[in-house]
Structure 1
Amino acid sequence: MSGNLGIQRLRAVSDCIRQIAALFGDKKDQKVRVRPKNRKPTTFPCNAGSRYSFTALVWIILGFFLVFHLVSVTQHRENKDSREIQSRGSPLPRTMFRELEVVEEMKNINIPPPRGKRSPRAQKRKTNRWLPPIIEEFLNEDSQLRHIFFPSRKNAVDPMKMTENDSLYYFPGRVWLDTDGNAIQAHGGCILHDERSGTYYWYGEYKDGVTYRAHRKAAARVDIIGVGCYSSKDLWTWKNEGIVLAGEETNETHDLHKSNVLERPKVVYNQKTGKYVMWMHIDDANYTKASAGVAVSDRPTGPFQYLGSKRPHEFDSRDMTVFKDDDGSAYIIYSSENNSVLHIGPLTDDYLHVKNVVRRILIGRHREAPALFKHHGTYYMITSGCSGWAPNEAMAHASESVMGLWETLGNPCVGANKVFRQRTFFSQSTFVFPVQGHPGLFIFMADRWNPSDLRDSRYVWLPLVVAGPSDQPLELGFGFPLWSRVSIYWHRKWRLPNGWSTLR
């Protein structure tokens, strides 16, 4: 219907232009043609002696058309949103999570002077020039600022021992313990909500091993141990379900041999087959394999059977995620072409293979760590830059279609201070999932990597809100979409609204 209206508007404009052209022909024609003095006025109250040029009138009419189109698009989106809200029932008042949108500021970090006496020349030689001072302090395990980014274990979040005042509160950056009192090992992971049992499953890289480098210029790494799984009813108390996909100890040719790389596991449930499907980034120690692996299981707690890996669409694939849409279709999104482009492509109906369809997006932007989610028919995505273990600035993106044109909205981080916002609160995105019963409220999952001891990497969970018009300059395309603002709010301590439920 909207397409027919657009065609009708274009035809109307073209008719107007033709009529104006007929009235204001070229001056050559005006000299040749003789008009009767008593000729009746045309539909438009203009004449050959008018001071307004043909070009100006055309631009005025086009301007009115564009304004009218913009208003109609706005009304269409408002009607669409209202219909969706009505179909879901009355939404809960936004006041229930308004406290999560409070801008919490932080003092600027003062970089301490170097310990001991060192000459300026020696200090200059030992400094990595490409790193900003604050990033260098973040990566330095001997930094005096270490406690800011990695609070000591004595401040750990232990759901089994927390006082009533701290119960159900998230503390981004602190050690997070499971019900057995051990640090949760689920890095680069995802959350799967099992609707039948109302249980959440958290999957991620199990990095409880020794951090080392394969050679002097190699990236810090931990041998593949496997994919860990944790279950919860409240998203705060997590039970360790064990290793659901284990690494390989002896077979050096296996993708999951301990010397290789397994990163960013993502699990989705297939209603048609009744299987739980896991996709992950598979690589060798030098990151030259650049493939995507797949595994499958009958149960969310595994064990998962590894089926192999391949380069999707015959392109290199590194940081990746999987997104399942409302209609049951699933897509793989991965960083490719030496991390310069993101690729998106649909999976087959069983989610075990990649269809031979791909779209290249954010070309030349060098984005990775995609985390895709959906709200009121619009697709959103959070990505990070490519800077190894060093944190960088996140960006939010939006599109009307998974396989459509993606536009950049800007940095979604709100609060803390400028240094933290420009470094995504010193973390990297991994997943975004909705809070049941609260339209527009999501949880942003990120990892605060500790390259000197990867098993001590921390989790940064923060409230993400989709609401209101964007306050960032947009790269507008045809149609003038009015994207909603995506905001990730910094909180040193926060909890979900009272009354939230795992049930839809």
Structure 2
Amino acid sequence: MTYDSIRPGAEWLDTGGKPIQSHAGSIFHEDGVFYWYGENKEHTTPGSGIWHWGIRCYSSTDLYNWEDRGLLIPPTPDDPDSPFHPSRFVDRPHIIHNTRTGKYVCWVKIMGTGHEQLSTILTADAFLGPYEIVSSDYRPLGMNAGDFDLVVDPTDGKGYYYFERVHSELICADLTDDYTAVTGYYSTHFPRAQPPDVREAPAYFRRGSRHHLITSGTSWYYPNPSEVAAAPSYHGPFAVLGDPHPFDTSRTSYRTQISSIFRHPHKRDLYIALGDRWLPDLAAAESNKEEAFRVAFTENATGDATEAMELPDADTSRAVYVWLPLRFDEDRPVIDWRDEWRIEDFA
């Protein structure tokens, strides 16, 4: 089938009739083509022991109909020591282009065997690859680095790396000139005592001279209220503006976690929040587990609070996408629910 609109939360099929598998995704635009890439969860079913099946990419010229372009980064099922073995927690790939080197640089968050959160960095000569690992088990600034976003300044090409210092705070670190490491200069933001209050899943966007971050709390696949903040520079200081979903009474960001914000290159002021509804069968009334996570982390401060909660094995192969446009109430970003919307409705 073909699409002429976006329907948040509905099943989305590629041009071959298969469910799109591009979770925790981002969009890269080049030469009139949109590339949507993210985690391939097609085999991540309960009891499978498979966390991912590589990083998959789709292409489109209208943001509605997506052609499967295959695996940008394939899994390595025959090598248990590889960072891309299917059992490894491979999350949230982000790709930026370095105009100085000509390289496409991909960072991926990967959970280590001891629950440490590390980074693997890859490069390619073309967006569709092939990608080669240049660094693995990388600890930026010597820290456990969780969910993240990569940003390139459009004027001077300088790169920035926003990441969650696991269960602590958010970091903005300057990237090296080739974007494959950090320089050592960084700033800290949003310190929190523990999950679920710790901010994760940072999604950066810039509107005019204001730099914005939309983040989520830390509550596994259960959704929670997002938080938006704005600053005059990449390194802040950030002022918290509140939940960008003020009309969602369930306080679950419409049962969604935002992975990235995409600014449409041909529209005057269209920013799209790309989100995943990881647990699509969970009713809104059952989705908000903030207090349960707060209690678990308080009572298990020296242990694994997530395991202590005995969370179910999520079937993320069935996760769906929630894409919604941002509107701006003066300077405050707001995300309203829409059952269906069209790119053409925006100037």
Name the TM tier (shorter chain): 0.7 to 0.9
In the other structure, the counterpart of 1:325 is 153
Equivalent residue of 1:497, what SS? helix
1:349: Cα distance to partner? Answer: 1.2
Question: Do 1:261 and 1:285's aligned partners in 2 also have CA atoms closer than 8 Å?
Answer: no
Q: 2:5 aligns with which of 147, 152, 169?
A: 169
Q: 2:18 aligns with which of 168, 175, 182?
A: 182
The residue type equivalent to 1:308 in the other structure is S
1:302 matched to 2:129? The reply is yes
In the other structure, the counterpart of 1:111 is none
Equivalent residue of 1:355, what SS? strand
Distance 1:499 1:209 in 2: 37
In the other structure, the counterpart of 2:317 is 455
The residue type equivalent to 1:447 in the other structure is D
1:205 matched to 2:34? The reply is no
Return closer, same or farther for 1:285/1:454 CA change in 2, 3 Å cut-off: farther
Q: Is 252-261 or 198-207 further displaced after alignment?
A: 252-261
Distance 2:217 2:329 in 1: 25
Q: What is the aligned length?
A: 308
Equivalent residue of 1:258, what SS? coil
Q: 1:466 aligns with which of 320, 323, 328?
A: 328
1:493: Cα distance to partner? Answer: 0.9
Query: Deviation string for 1:199-248 (max 9, x for gaps)?
Result: 1111100011042369xxxxxx6333110011111111111110011121
1:467: Cα distance to partner? Answer: 4.4
In the other structure, the counterpart of 1:257 is 85
Question: Do 1:434 and 1:443's aligned partners in 2 also have CA atoms closer than 8 Å?
Answer: yes
The residue type equivalent to 1:184 in the other structure is I
Question: Do 1:259 and 1:284's aligned partners in 2 also have CA atoms closer than 8 Å?
Answer: no
Distance 1:211 1:230 in 2: 22
Q: 2:343 aligns with which of 475, 479, 496?
A: 496
In the other structure, the counterpart of 2:268 is 439
In the other structure, the counterpart of 1:270 is 98
Question: Do 1:277 and 1:295's aligned partners in 2 also have CA atoms closer than 8 Å?
Answer: yes
Equivalent residue of 2:185, what SS? coil
Distance 1:397 1:385 in 2: 14
Distance 1:357 1:329 in 2: 13
1:389 matched to 2:221? The reply is yes
Distance 1:383 1:452 in 2: 22
Q: Which runs of 5+ in 2 are unaligned?
A: 280-312
1:198: Cα distance to partner? Answer: 1.0
1:299: Cα distance to partner? Answer: 1.2
Distance 1:397 1:277 in 2: 27
Could you list the runs of 4 or more consecutive aligned residues of structure 1 that deviate by over 4 angstroms after TM superposition?
Answer: none
1:498: Cα distance to partner? Answer: 4.7
1:351 matched to 2:179? The reply is yes
In the other structure, the counterpart of 2:252 is 423
Return closer, same or farther for 1:233/1:359 CA change in 2, 3 Å cut-off: same
The residue type equivalent to 1:298 in the other structure is D
Report 1:87-126 matches (<5 A).
none
Query: Deviation string for 1:361-380 (max 9, x for gaps)?
Result: 00115000110000101101
Distance 2:76 2:159 in 1: 28
The residue type equivalent to 2:256 in the other structure is S
Question: Do 2:270 and 2:346's aligned partners in 1 also have CA atoms closer than 8 Å?
Answer: no
The residue type equivalent to 1:492 in the other structure is D
**Larger RCO (alpha carbons 8 Å, 6+ apart):** 2
Distance 2:168 2:276 in 1: 22
Distance 1:247 1:254 in 2: 9
1:244 matched to 2:72? The reply is yes
Distance 2:43 2:346 in 1: 39
1:257: Cα distance to partner? Answer: 1.7
The residue type equivalent to 2:171 in the other structure is H
Distance 1:339 1:172 in 2: 30
Distance 1:224 1:234 in 2: 27
Question: Do 2:104 and 2:126's aligned partners in 1 also have CA atoms closer than 8 Å?
Answer: yes
In the other structure, the counterpart of 1:20 is none
Equivalent residue of 2:317, what SS? helix
Distance 1:279 1:378 in 2: 25
In the other structure, the counterpart of 1:406 is 238
Report 1:37-76 matches (<5 A).
none
1:282: Cα distance to partner? Answer: 1.0
The residue type equivalent to 1:211 in the other structure is T
1:343: Cα distance to partner? Answer: 0.8
Distance 2:346 2:23 in 1: 29
Taking structure 2 as the reference length, the TM-score comes to: 0.85
In the other structure, the counterpart of 1:374 is 206
1:285: Cα distance to partner? Answer: 5.6
Equivalent residue of 1:274, what SS? coil
Equivalent residue of 1:492, what SS? coil
Question: Do 2:112 and 2:118's aligned partners in 1 also have CA atoms closer than 8 Å?
Answer: no
In the other structure, the counterpart of 1:233 is 61
Q: Which runs of 5+ in 1 are unaligned?
A: 1-157, 160-166, 215-220, 469-483
Percent of residue pairs identical: 32
Q: 1:192 aligns with which of 16, 28, 36?
A: 28
The residue type equivalent to 2:226 in the other structure is A
The residue type equivalent to 2:4 in the other structure is L
Taking structure 1 as the reference length, the TM-score comes to: 0.59
CA root-mean-square deviation: 1.7
The residue type equivalent to 1:169 in the other structure is S
In the other structure, the counterpart of 1:117 is none
| Greater strand fraction, Structure 1 or Structure 2 | 2
Equivalent residue of 1:209, what SS? coil
Distance 2:44 2:78 in 1: 18
Distance 1:208 1:285 in 2: 23
